[in-house]
A and B are shown apart, each in its own frame.
Chain A
Amino acid sequence: GAVVSQHPSWVICKSGTSVKIECRSLDFQATTMFWYRQFPKQSLMLMATSNEGSKATYEQGVEKDKFLINHASLTLSTLTVTSAHPEDSSFYICSAHRDQETQYFGPGTRLLVL
């Protein structure tokens, strides 16, 4: 099946620093990738849709200046959490469309902000 990777899998940082998370489609090209956030024991919440070569589309309530998304190539999207604070601690998951119908998910990145 399609493979989507994320790096890093774990990150611990100090409050006020910025953290970059990479999402890569390893065996297919993805013009559209998605970033989700998952709180403990909750479902996934879509944060933004990342479009290759254009600006990301953010869901209501998600601060675009806080969560910077770059989709510079057909196989890479990055999410940067700027000036991270403890409330940004969460599990971040990306996904990508391989075919028209199915999203394939990365393994997730757990962020802990101290």
Chain B
Amino acid sequence: AQSVTQLDSHVSVSEGTPVLLRCNYSSSYSPSLFWYVQHPNKGLQLLLKYTSAATLVKGINGFEAEFKKSETSFHLTKPSAHMSDAAEYFCVVSDPSGYSTLTFGKGTMLLVSP
């Protein structure tokens, strides 16, 4: 069985300050992990993925995430927030085959103020 816990339902930052969205996972296997972003009334866009290669993963729009097996974490970070980053972010886990169903976290809403 696998599960995902996003530790914050909402995160508020000011434009230009760092972003940290926290995610912990549980999996019986070495998982594949993903971060997706969803803007209002839109589908999900893949930000980045970890699939057992480098533990520090760089994604689009300046986001990156670090896989820490000892802490079972996969936190998403960005050095400097932009207004356009305001959206819902989902941490997702899949088993190693990748073809099984995805398990979604409940989402973290990122709010960016001027």
Contacts and interface: CB of A to CB of B under 8 A. Distances in A.
Interface of A: 1, 4, 6, 32, 34, 42-44, 46, 49, 91, 93, 95, 97, 99-108, 110
Nearest to A91: B41
B102 interface: yes
Contacts, number: 52
B37 to A, nearest CB: 11
Contacts of B44: 44, 93, 95, 105
Nearest to B105: A43
Interface of B: 32, 34, 36, 41-46, 49, 51, 90, 94, 97-99, 101-102, 104-107
A6 B43 contact: yes
Contact of B99 (A97, A105, A107, A108): A97
A101 B43 contact: no
Given A44-B104, A104-B46, A107-B42, 15 more contacts: A4-B43, A32-B99, A34-B101, A42-B106, A42-B107, A43-B107, A44-B44, A100-B97, A100-B99, A101-B94, A102-B46, A102-B98, A106-B43, A108-B42, A110-B41
28 contacts: A1-B46, A4-B43, A6-B43, A34-B101, A42-B107, A43-B106, A43-B107, A44-B44, A44-B90, A44-B104, A93-B43, A97-B98, A97-B99, A100-B98, A101-B32, A101-B49, A101-B51, A101-B94, A102-B34, A102-B46, A102-B49, A103-B102, A104-B46, A105-B43, A105-B44, A105-B46, A107-B43, A110-B41
A46 B100 CA distance: 11
A110 B32 CA distance: 29
Interface of B is mostly: loop
Nearest to A103: B102
B43 A43 contact: no
Contacts of A91: 41
A89 to B, nearest CB: 14
